[in-house]
Structure 1
Amino acid sequence: MTTPTVDTLRASGATIHYEVRGSGPILLLIAGGTGGAASFADVVEDLATDHTVVTYDPRGIGRSPLDHADAEQHVAEHAEDAFRLLELLAPGEEARVFGSSSGAIAALHLATAHPERIARVVAHEPPVVEVLPDAADHRALVARVRETFRTEGLQPAMAVFAAGVSGDRADEQRPQPELPPRAAERVARSMADLPYFVGQIVPRFMSYVPDLPRLERLSERLVVAAGEDSHGELPYRAASVLAERTGAPLQLFPGGHIGLTTHPEEFGARLRGVLTTPAR
């Protein structure tokens, strides 16, 4: 296993932990949820054989502490952290960027804010619910999650969130995929960040309104991805509508919303293929 170069970047209101592996064109991986750089542990080695792969813990997650723990979060600020990493590690170079879930929302904003720096952006199931015709229902969901978290605590809020994200499939009795041992250990370690995720990331990121005209102009460099097992779920619906409204292709990836964790080998192979396919 390759030993990464590990360092920190001082950003506005936070210190960002990042890791660099490999050589070749720059590839920035932006994690969603609470996993941080560790989310990519099972795919990063293969990607680093022909890319300079940058992973990091988003601000407030893992080893990237906030200066003030209760600081309000904003998608633009998270995207600016990603941009500053590109400026530090590959100044002036066009980058390939992959983001999943909330990380995909940060990747979309990065692409619209700094299109000159993006060679390809792959957004895996960004929960951009504001593009949906029933967006008002999802605003109400976010409000319920916040209120439940405030009045009842973390686990009830997570239950409300999970039921809302499941969408049309909420009543299905679906077996949960068994995680590989290393992935299960990473998930357990990330539990400490769940209060921050539910209290700060969910409400801010799920209320984000993507700049559809700018994304449409970037459609030849944009790939919207969705899980093969996610049909009917909220992030899949949002990804599908985003692809339709921007003219970007919708690519199916192995597994569901956390296919990166449950199907890492197949997921990594699909990502490599999408990254190396010539732009339309």
Structure 2
Amino acid sequence: MTEPYLHYDVTGTGPLLLLIPGGAGHPMGLGPVTEALAGRFTVVTYDPLGLAHGRLGLPVEDQRPEDWSDGARRVLDATLPDGGSAYVHGISAGGVAALDLLARHPARLLHVVAHEPPCVSVLPDGARQRAGFVEVCDVYRDRGLAAAGARMTALLEERAAGELPEGQPLSREEELASPMAVSLAHVLRTFTAYVPEPTPSGPRLTLTAGTDSRGQLLYRTAELLAKDLHGDFVEFPGGHLGAAQHPVAYAEQLTRTLRGADVPG
């Protein structure tokens, strides 16, 4: 069986850093942070669905974290020199894939940093929070992107959603043309159900959350994951989208964290 084609970009020089974007894996908005990192690392940006490589608008199947992590492993095999190891940074859904990569393919990893992965099932109220993400997907199907976005924001901020914007379901063509819609239709439901397993030893793990996310759902998820998976916890600039909001400061913090210079204790 022929393995699917891999989509990724390489920029910069230095130790290899695999970057796994969130959402549907489209690296939109990550150009500035990639540029800021490229002076320190060889940044390999993985595009799991090829949405930034000519596949936006083409049919997409429901995604699983292991699909992305298997692809990430093959990207590392294609880009690392013989005997080499890599840093990995995953954001949101990309953080879920990074955790699965660590659990299933740890051999060539140095340090995995996962930013606000939505693995909410690990929380004491995980069943309720997981149901909230399922509701977001249902709202998207019934009322479109604006209503789903409002419900998602309320869920992440752990507050009542209030009245949602009016809207209509997207056509299949409209859905496939929007990375956000692809994420809501084919990624969010399965990735938020993922429960990572602790590994007894292996590469270093750090969970991160944005300073602007304090008191919110994915901040406490990252804190608990760090404890359960025997990793470190570090705050990053901005919120869930800190890499796009504060790219230079985010890149500085990521560099310090990967090199072990900004970990408590």
TM-score range, shorter-chain basis? Answer: 0.7 to 0.9
Q: Does residue 200 of structure 1 match 2:183?
A: no
CA distance in 2, matches of 1:263, 1:35: 20
SS at the partner of 2:250?
Answer: helix
Deviation at 1:78, TM superposition (A): 0.7
SS at the partner of 2:43?
Answer: strand
CA distance in 1, matches of 2:177, 2:56: 17
Deviation at 1:31, TM superposition (A): 0.7
CA distance in 2, matches of 1:51, 1:111: 20
| Identical-residue share of aligned pairs (%) | 38
CA distance in 1, matches of 2:229, 2:127: 21
* Deviation readout 1:16-51 (Å, 9 max, x if unpaired): 431111222211011112573343311223322232
CA distance in 1, matches of 2:196, 2:54: 25
CA distance in 2, matches of 1:145, 1:168: 14
Conserved? CA contact 2:87–2:110, under 8 Å: yes
Q: Give the one of 248, 261, 273 matched to 2:231.
A: 248
Conserved? CA contact 1:253–1:267, under 8 Å: yes
Uncovered stretches (5+) of structure 1, i.e. residues with no partner: 1-9, 172-189
SS at the partner of 1:110?
Answer: helix
Conserved? CA contact 1:168–1:233, under 8 Å: no
Uncovered stretches (5+) of structure 2, i.e. residues with no partner: 163-175
TM-score, with normalisation over the residues of structure 1? 0.80
Q: Give the one of 248, 258, 261 matched to 1:265.
A: 248
Deviation at 1:115, TM superposition (A): 1.1
Deviation at 1:131, TM superposition (A): 1.0
**Aligned ranges for residues 111-260 of structure 1 at < 5 Å?**
111-168=102-159, 192-211=178-197, 213-214=198-199, 217-218=201-202, 221-260=204-243
The 1:161/1:67 distance shift into structure 2, 3 A limit, reads closer
CA distance in 2, matches of 1:204, 1:119: 27
Q: Which amino acid aligns with 2:38?
A: A
Conserved? CA contact 1:163–1:170, under 8 Å: yes
Conserved? CA contact 2:46–2:75, under 8 Å: no
CA distance in 1, matches of 2:87, 2:188: 25
SS at the partner of 1:62?
Answer: helix
CA distance in 1, matches of 2:133, 2:36: 37
Structure 1 runs of 4+ with >3 Å offset: 168-171
CA distance in 2, matches of 1:228, 1:89: 33
The 1:204/1:35 distance shift into structure 2, 3 A limit, reads closer
The 1:254/1:236 distance shift into structure 2, 3 A limit, reads same
CA distance in 2, matches of 1:248, 1:70: 34
Conserved? CA contact 1:16–1:65, under 8 Å: no
Q: Which amino acid aligns with 1:253?
A: F
**Which residue in the other structure is 1:82 paired with?**
72
Conserved? CA contact 1:58–1:64, under 8 Å: no
- Number of matched pairs: 248
The 1:228/1:18 distance shift into structure 2, 3 A limit, reads same
Conserved? CA contact 1:229–1:254, under 8 Å: yes
* Deviation readout 1:109-157 (Å, 9 max, x if unpaired): 1111111111001111111101100011112112212222222223222
Conserved? CA contact 2:20–2:94, under 8 Å: yes
CA distance in 2, matches of 1:233, 1:71: 30
* Deviation readout 1:194-218 (Å, 9 max, x if unpaired): 211111111011011111x22x534
**Which residue in the other structure is 1:186 paired with?**
none
Deviation at 1:170, TM superposition (A): 6.9
Conserved? CA contact 1:131–1:238, under 8 Å: yes
- Over aligned residues, Cα RMSD in angstroms? 2.6
Conserved? CA contact 2:18–2:86, under 8 Å: yes
